[in-house]
Structure 1
Amino acid sequence: MDQIDRSIEPGEDTIRILLTTDNHVGYKENDPIRTDDSWKTFNEIVVTAKEQDVDMIVHGGDLFDVNKPSKKSMYRVMESLRSHCLGDRPCELELLSDFNSLSGDLFPVNYEDPNINVSIPVFAISGNHDDATGSSLLSPMDVLAVSGLVNNFGKVTSASEINVAPILLQKGTTKFALYGMSHVKDERLFRLFREGNVKFLRPNMYTEEWFNLLCVHQNHHPYTSQKSYLPESVLPDFIDFIYWGHEHECLPEPQLNPIKNFHTLLPGSSIVTSLIDGESNPKHVFILNVKGKKFNLEAIPLKTARPFLIEAISLAEEGFDPSPVLTNDVTNFLCHKVEELIEKALEKYVQTNTNSSMDTEEAEQFKKDAPLPLIRLKVDVTGGFQVENLQRLSRRFVGKVANVDDIFTIHQKNTSARVKNTDGPKADITFNKSSTLTINSLISNFVEESTLHLLPGQGINNAVKEFIDKDDKNAINEYIKKEIKRETKIL
């Protein structure tokens, strides 16, 4: 049965839900150009929720870029939520389940709190960037929850089992079951599913009448191994719609899983955090309209998202000769390509943010006032090409692009390199000359070469990653104390 019904309109039986994820508020906040990008886009999203008269907001994790956000980041988020989600407009959602037992909080769902006037309730899970840490296992979402601005749900408190229970809501005749699961390390989650220790609970009344939405924040593809992602095949087939956070590429059309018969939406992040191909897709926020067991989806382009274009070129394919004498010709060509990308990015921004009623002069002025774009040019120098110092070359675009220090990436194919593929036959792998070792690989190599009897290598790796990626200064100390305590018990 096709659940998509494009004729659904707002009404007393329609639940309108704004879907957003991976805002990464605080990203690049110390950058003089991109300092305000993340919170401005988040504010646009919350304003959109108010303008579109939605019933609720569901957030898929990574609201903040780090789990200890700066005072500026926390202030901006609280300011936006307070300005646009609080008010006298009545919330028409009826809560049919015990929110306190589901969330573990002492406070009720915020729109039923007699001390707060909430017009648009926000339901949010934690991602891998803003997860709970420290001895109290508190996350930034807990701070927002205790302030009454969001409803933090989907917490995973046990390492050995996960029970996912729904928040049951109703508007008119539409029954809505909201399931959520905060980020769990992919390998651990894979093991829990394999061992049958993840259970999804269903309401025991009107069981088949609920529209079931599941919100997760995990890898959707096996990037590093077959255990490093959440396969759709392990999820229950009674789910109707999966809202999938963590993946930053925006894919605005929900995809039907023909075996499980549910739809999956990968909405992507609201700002660019990596200069890669996937992040060059236009950024959107979504409104899900649910009526009975039917739904439709509206994709709304984000106007404050900084324009970003990426292109890959090969100097050999462009017809250049690798002679050092022609280095200046290569430099001039690269600069010309960047200028072209800047122009295209600005045109793309104007098209997204203007309408047909604007005349040429207004459009040109709008273009002049547009934010500096993000530009990435990937240059293949295979064949012995020499290029000018990239840092010096990039300085030519000061005042023209937002990412002056990393416009260019240079790589060279090594066709002779072969590695063994453990999952199948041998395969040719192309390496980049400019590839850099990650912290994870450095620690892994060190652990492999060391003889550690008490501290597991993977645990050390994870603790160092927490220390560096999330600025958790106590991560290593807490991990070592925990392991010493565990080993002491064994002895």
Structure 2
Amino acid sequence: MSFFRLLTRFLTFFGMCGSDDSFEDFVADSQMPTSSVRRTRETEESEVACSQRPDAAHDTMVEDLDDDVKPVRDEVDDVIKILVATDIHCGYGENKPNIHMDAVNTFEEVLQIATEQKVDMVLLGGDLYHENNPSRECQHRVTQLLRKYCLNENPISLEFLSDASVNFNQSVFDHVNYYDQNLNVGLPIFTIHGNHDDLSGKGLTALDLLHEAGLVNLFGKHESIQEFLISPILLRKGETRLALYGLGSQRDDRLVRAFKDENITFLRPNAGAEDWFNLFVLHQNRPRRAMHRSTGNYLPESLIPQFFDLLVWGHEHECKPDPQYVAASEAVGDGFYILQPGSTVATSLTPEEALQKNVFLIKIKGRKFASKPIPLQTVRPMICDELLLDKIPPGCRPATKLDRPRNNLDGRYIDEMAIEAKLNEMISRAKAKRGPRQPELPLIRLKVIYDGEWLNITPANAKRIGLRYENTVANAVDMVTIKKNVSTLDQYSEIEEGGTAASANRNFDNCLLAQIGVVRNTLKKMPLPPIESLSDMESFRDLIEKDLFELKKADCERPVTAPEGEEDDDDERQFYMPQRPQRFDEQEEEDDDEPMNSDDEPVSTSSAKPTRGRGRGSRGGGTRGTRGKTAKAAPPRAQIDSDDDGFVVLDDSDSPPPPTRATRGRGRAKPTTTTRKRDMSFF
């Protein structure tokens, strides 16, 4: 390096020379509106102080990147380059034959992109693992990749300015991993935990192992659910300062209440708070996903403080290639940007998951940032589509109770022919868009809807159809789903909120009000329970159970009138036994040696000649398995007849059948007898 160049860099660093214009070289004209830095509530913490809204000179702008500029890392400049990815889901489908390596292969591609782009750091938005307790094989593969791409001789230009013992308070190591003298970290990774790899047991996650090993920097971990104190990671490169805030996955209801009750405090630097670029990474539901909860099971964007410049939103698998501007008020520039990278692997067969998967390259200089999506090349191709069957084509063999409409020419089912034609077309589309690094077998999801003339016809077997494509697609078993569009059932639709589809019930409010009305009217008709307080739920439950018991008992003891032509020979009340799938009288004619038990007449096993059993017994006449004693004559056997109405009637007047030999027993045999006692087990 020449002396003149070294002197210029030295003067630039101390502000004695013109500012570096490298950032302006790779950004193009602004295409999105600017946003002012927002105001947050003051805190009494000694290390922070909240500031007022800054002037327009600190507006945040999102601009396109210049593709002509090559990655530069060996020169000290003011641009912080970050590679952002979320929802890696390593370990997903590891027990499935075709997709067990998809997530790991894509994670390796993410690390390769970070190395090629020579970024200063990698930021992960949660769900690095798919399971809270990943398998040993999964942890082994992830550790291999992190050691391969993160431990090297590459220099790091990021200065860590905050208190690491506060940012990483869950660890005994009070420093960032690239400040550890025992490690040679060339690619720092900062990550929060998601809902898949969240805390369990004693408050540990699978990411804690990687943090203690010095492979990643886990931050945003909060064990307290009552109050959240979020302290930022302060980084600096040249004149650019970055305040990185993180919040691991929390229950949406709990987090919304914490925001509304002001139990969340965001700390800010004391001096020059408006000179910092504020980036917040979180892992929550973004669209409303529950209609029956007051909080909606999501985090409204309006609750987030307005001093942030950029939000990296994890947990949502749909990729949005452009940052979305959220205005806090009618004032121009009073808002923040939300970047939703989406997942790197498809974990559900939905249209949102079938979109292009990307990671994002973010460049920050001062209070401005630029983002660029980088498409992933190793993601398995996926096609999702629907097929509506509502009309039966003319000229085919009509449907019967046991058969579906068939083709007159070859006898094939009409619906299966339509489904297979649609599947072949989808597979052709997947093969056409497959890249050179993508897996060969695609993911296919076809939703078949039976409607109209097909509504009362038995649908096809989806799994049987899928198995015909076992060597053609990666998910042959579950690639076809079948649904009947019945108007009497609840209809579901996809509600779009800001372009994100959320599954919700279309008539949920009406159904809920109807159910509440039914319960209210029922309670009005019921007598008040004799309890002193409605809080005495134990007494109330006992009364309900007692009433139900008396009701069932009275119903079972109710006399039943015999059919006409039947005479009740006994003084006891006659009742009917439900007909079995096989008639008892037919069973006796076929096999008269088998004992039959009844709930109303005493019956013993037949006294056939003993055979060799497996229990103890003497040789010869004794039955093995009955302590060696000869079976005694059985009491008179109840003769079973069947009337024309399909009911079985017991008759004791007939003579007992000739004795038969005992059947082969196992162990100690016990005579099977029944009594006329009614079954009073009601619960």
Stretches of structure 2 lacking an aligned partner (at least 5 in a row) = 1-33, 35-59, 329-333, 407-411, 492-503, 513-536, 540-683
Deviation per CA, 1:93-142: give whole Å up to 9, x if none.
001101121211221100111111111100010001101211x2110110
**Equivalence for 1:248:** 317
For 2:180, the aligned partner's letter is D
Q: Displacement, 1:415? A: 2.1
- Cα distance in 2 for partners of 1:311, 1:422 equals 22
- Cα distance in 2 for partners of 1:394, 1:113 equals 53
Shift in CA distance, 425/41, structure 1 to aligned 2, threshold 3 Å: closer
Report which structure shows greater RCO (CA 8 Å, sep ≥6): 1
**Equivalence for 1:348:** 433
Q: Displacement, 1:423? A: 11
Q: Displacement, 1:329? A: 2.1
- Cα distance in 2 for partners of 1:318, 1:32 equals 38
Question: 8 Å contact 1:100–1:109 — kept in the other structure?
Answer: no
Which range moved further: 418-427 or 379-388?
Answer: 418-427
**Equivalence for 2:486:** 414
Alignment of 1:149-188 (within 5 A): 149-188=215-254
Whichever of the two has the greater Rg, that structure is 2
**Equivalence for 1:28:** 93
- Cα distance in 2 for partners of 1:78, 1:177 equals 28
Shift in CA distance, 393/425, structure 1 to aligned 2, threshold 3 Å: closer
Deviation per CA, 1:340-361: give whole Å up to 9, x if none.
11111121223xx48xxxxxxx
- SS of the equivalent of 1:64 reads coil
- The answer to whether the aligner puts 1:325 opposite 2:394 as a matched pair is no
Deviation per CA, 1:7-33: give whole Å up to 9, x if none.
576661111101011111001101111
- Cα distance in 2 for partners of 1:100, 1:21 equals 25
Question: 8 Å contact 2:381–2:439 — kept in the other structure?
Answer: no
Shift in CA distance, 189/329, structure 1 to aligned 2, threshold 3 Å: same
Alignment of 1:383-402 (within 5 A): 383=452, 384=455, 385-402=457-474
Match for residue 372 of structure 2 among 298, 301, 315: 298
Shift in CA distance, 279/7, structure 1 to aligned 2, threshold 3 Å: closer
For 1:182, the aligned partner's letter is G
For 1:82, the aligned partner's letter is R
Shift in CA distance, 17/226, structure 1 to aligned 2, threshold 3 Å: farther
| Higher helix proportion | 1
Deviation per CA, 1:305-350: give whole Å up to 9, x if none.
1111100121117968984323712211211111111111121223
Q: Displacement, 1:426? A: 3.2
- The answer to whether the aligner puts 1:192 opposite 2:277 as a matched pair is no
Q: Displacement, 1:226? A: 4.6
Q: Displacement, 1:269? A: 0.8
For 1:250, the aligned partner's letter is C
Stretches of structure 1 lacking an aligned partner (at least 5 in a row) = 355-368, 429-450, 454-491
CA root-mean-square deviation: 2.5
- Cα distance in 1 for partners of 2:190, 2:391 equals 51
For 1:325, the aligned partner's letter is P
Deviation per CA, 1:26-46: give whole Å up to 9, x if none.
011011111111111111101
Shift in CA distance, 226/393, structure 1 to aligned 2, threshold 3 Å: same
Deviation per CA, 1:353-378: give whole Å up to 9, x if none.
48xxxxxxxxxxxxxx8420000000
- SS of the equivalent of 1:300 reads strand
Question: 8 Å contact 1:55–1:91 — kept in the other structure?
Answer: yes
- The answer to whether the aligner puts 1:377 opposite 2:446 as a matched pair is yes
Shift in CA distance, 226/244, structure 1 to aligned 2, threshold 3 Å: farther
**Equivalence for 1:207:** 273
Alignment of 1:14-25 (within 5 A): 14-25=79-90
Shift in CA distance, 43/413, structure 1 to aligned 2, threshold 3 Å: same
TM-score (normalised: structure 2): 0.58
**Equivalence for 1:144:** 210
- Cα distance in 2 for partners of 1:328, 1:452 equals 58
Shift in CA distance, 199/309, structure 1 to aligned 2, threshold 3 Å: same
For 1:247, the aligned partner's letter is E
Aligned residue pair count: 414
Shift in CA distance, 52/78, structure 1 to aligned 2, threshold 3 Å: same
Alignment of 1:9-158 (within 5 A): 12-104=77-169, 105-107=171-173, 108-134=175-201, 136-158=202-224
- SS of the equivalent of 2:100 reads coil
For 1:336, the aligned partner's letter is A
- The answer to whether the aligner puts 1:280 opposite 2:354 as a matched pair is yes
- The answer to whether the aligner puts 1:426 opposite 2:510 as a matched pair is yes
